[in-house]
Structure 1
């Protein structure tokens, strides 16, 4: 634990010295006490590469707070009640005709954790790849392993801005921060994600077997071997292929992932939070704390839950509800998030439960209904609600899978329900009657993108 704290603290400081406010721009810092991009890109020591890698893990979780609070509000999985700043309700819920603009609250000029933070991670991964390739302190196999890890993180991170701005498109060519490439459509961005993850898998394959050559945080416990990281890479690829509607590709990726039809559902890599000098879990709230700023369970989630579903244990009923006044009236939160035992609990970023549901979804879309039902029943039986007994048409099974995803993946730091409803053209099924708001489809590029293009003449 002490080694983790040391690595994470130094890595965060190094990340801060490497990156400025522009998520696409590197700062050249000539400070002997803080590594610059130049120093780690030219025959970096093994320890320097270790710090950049651990810093990348810290960057990898930079989206968690913003995406968890905002995207899960968009999909009405939660309300983020904030008594000190009503825009967390009025703006994010789209009350009184509010619609996303380039400086929308919570995303600012750079897009916050939904846009800037992922690009910072992507570019730090590029620094890590250059550092590994340009050093004599790693052998060829170790260089491929480090490159595979960096690309795995990039594949995951590119999906965040892609799903935030959706049809408005994202930049995928950001190697040169002073001359980034053009915006590309969502489909092309997701194809890029696939290509990065395939390249990561190839790098891991070339790295051989055994343990990863550098130290990973506790978030990768159980996956800190080359084969384990290949499994994580393919799990992320399965999610990406579902967004690409490549259903056979989903199944192929799952076959090389850590999916275990007979194993615990919560197994998977995570974002660790170990407390000072590192960060605390940003989603943890003390049960029954006297507060008016807290994530609460959306009323529709409570209303639609099956009474004997043991996933209801995720919802803690407060002794005193939280109330916040908004333009559309008072919002009342009766239940809060019960998933995190403490403020140092890790947050999974992909897990076995999601992979089994992806398997069900792929089979359903390929009209392999018996296989889809078998996967659905793994989830249903684990939830204590018994086997599926409904119709076995594609439409009926997709309805069932989306319902199970709603509770199995509730309020995870990804906004699953918002994305799921959009990709199945069901945004109109997300209820607004509890808050008088609007369901958003996508966001425009943040103001910094427009300002940058005007400044550079792109």
Structure 2
């Protein structure tokens, strides 16, 4: 009975951190040394561990982008060794008992949240001549931003099923499961707390982290610039909360810049070296959903050329999609593949300037005044014209339709945005059902080990 309880505790949200750091890991110091005798090197190693944990399972072929892409009909995964990609993910119900499918995106994020708590608790014990107060503030700002991002991953997958947020206490005590809005509110408050720490570090004339964030954070590797990433994440969470004026405030403090490239942003980076991780979205079993090409808008006055099948379509299609040999599995088929992740080291976006422009347009559309609608029209048309499409006249009647189309193609297969967006606007019933028994799942269930531990 005791062994069963411990196993359930490790799998539940409240037990993950305590169990996870007990396992030897070259990317993390031992739990005992971090808690009792932390040093600069052990703390910075733990910070690197948070970066690695945050990247974990985002680009796997059964990871966050691929699974949410399946649910949002952005992609197929024709893995002939596992029929669940075609049946469980697209028909029937999601199984909460399997951590690779219906029970996914729970244990990893909660482990990282608890590990961040352990890191922050250790900071007070590090001697001042090893890490000064300003450096510790920078680490706290970083760690709380990571925690907020992990909670955002959990609530994006679980939606109204919610999840625990009070997971900083005794791991043997089960934290209550709270609502979606409470989780998102916690995301916002964590990001604000993180900003306070980052600002305090800069105010103390320390504008550097005592560790490197890696190439994916190029341009955002200092507290004064990392805070702009923090504000971008807050804007995304505020849009999910329908806090439209708050969204505009956060975007004003973010890295949104219509004079900069739309690709500006933060990314998960990958490598082929020993101990590193490759981008698993290179998997040849992953195909693009045919509706992406079928629904794409045509450029005005364009003449098709046989050798250039996407020449007359929205330029985002040609940049992200290519024709490939037909893949067929379980009465599904596609002749399109993604080109964004052709190399194992291809970066995966966390949040980009293009999304921020779209978030600003969404906030203005929902504010709904004439001036706000005009501002939204300018932002949406800026993206449309760049991609070879004609400007549109935005009205209160067509604004959401235009927004969702632009988000669909701009953020294609980057982070489950299509599924999340259609759910947010109660339009999941508009997603394609390719077979008679197909369904569109609304949310992931809470894992069975989590619910069993509460009985």
Bin for the TM-score computed over the shorter chain: 0.7 to 0.9
Q: Please state if 1:431 is matched with 2:429.
A: no
Aligned equivalents of 2:279, 2:379: Cα separation in 1:
31
Match for residue 160 of structure 1 among 133, 153, 157: 153
Q: Are 1:315 and 2:309 counterparts?
A: no
Distance 1:35 1:69 in 2: 31
The one-character-per-residue Cα deviations of 1:143-190 (angstroms, maximum 9, x if unpaired) are 110000001011111012212222122000111322131000111111
Structure 1 residue 86: Cα displacement: 1.3
Q: Does 2:30 correspond to 1:36?
A: yes
Is the partner of 1:99 in helix, strand or coil? coil
Asked if 1:258 is matched to 2:261, the reply is no
Q: Aligned pair in 2 of structure 1 residues 30, 380: CA closer, same or farther (>3 Å)? A: closer
Instruction: Give RMSD over aligned pairs.
Output: 2.1
1:214 deviates by: 2.1
Q: How many residues align?
A: 415
Deviations 1:183-239 (A, max 9, x none): 001111111111001101111111115222322211111111111110000000000
Pairwise CA distance, 1:388: 1.8
349-358 or 215-224, which deviates more: 215-224
Aligned residues of 2:340 and 2:346 also touching (Cα < 8 A)? no
The answer to whether the 8 Å contact 1:266/1:352 transfers is yes
Preserved contact between residue 408 and residue 418 of structure 2 (Cα < 8 Å): yes
Match of 1:210 among 183, 195, 207: 207
Deviation for aligned residue 1:92: 0.3
In 2, the alpha carbon distance for the partners of 1:50 and 1:343 equals 27
Contact 1:29 1:35 in 2 (8 A): no
* Equivalent-residue separation in structure 1 for 2:214 and 2:261 (angstroms): 21
| Alpha carbons of structure 1 residues 435 and 130: separation in structure 2 relative to 1, 3 Å | farther
- Give secondary structure in 2 for the equivalent of 1:181: coil
2:115 counterpart residue number: 124
SS at 1:274 equivalent: coil
1:75 aligns with 2:72: yes
Alignment map for 1:80-229 (pairs within 5 Å)? 80-94=77-91, 98-103=92-97, 106-107=100-101, 111-112=103-104, 114-136=105-127, 137-176=130-169, 177-208=171-202, 210-229=207-226
After superposition, the C-alpha distances for 1:263-304 in whole angstroms (9 at most, x for unaligned) are: 11111111110112101111124xxxxxxx611111111110
* Contact 1:63–1:118 (Cα < 8 Å) also in 2: no
Q: Judge conservation of contact 1:91–1:105 (CA < 8 Å) in 2.
A: no
List gaps (5 residues or longer) in structure 2.
1-8, 299-312
Distance in 1 of aligned mates of 2:363 and 2:36: 45
Q: Distance in 2 between matches of 1:164 and 1:346?
A: 22
Note the alpha carbon deviations across 1:343-364, whole angstroms, 9 max, x for none: 1121111111100000000011
Determine helix, strand or coil for the equivalent of 1:79: strand
The secondary structure found in structure 2 opposite 1:336 is strand
Matches for 1:219-368 after TM superposition, within 5 Å: 219-277=216-274, 278-285=276-283, 294-307=285-298, 308-312=313-317, 313-318=319-324, 320-324=325-329, 326=330, 330-367=331-368, 368=372
TM-score (norm 2): 0.87
Would you say the 8 A contact 2:48–2:211 is kept in 1?
no
8 Å Cα contact 2:198-2:227 kept in structure 1: yes
Unaligned runs of 5+ in 1: 1-18, 286-292
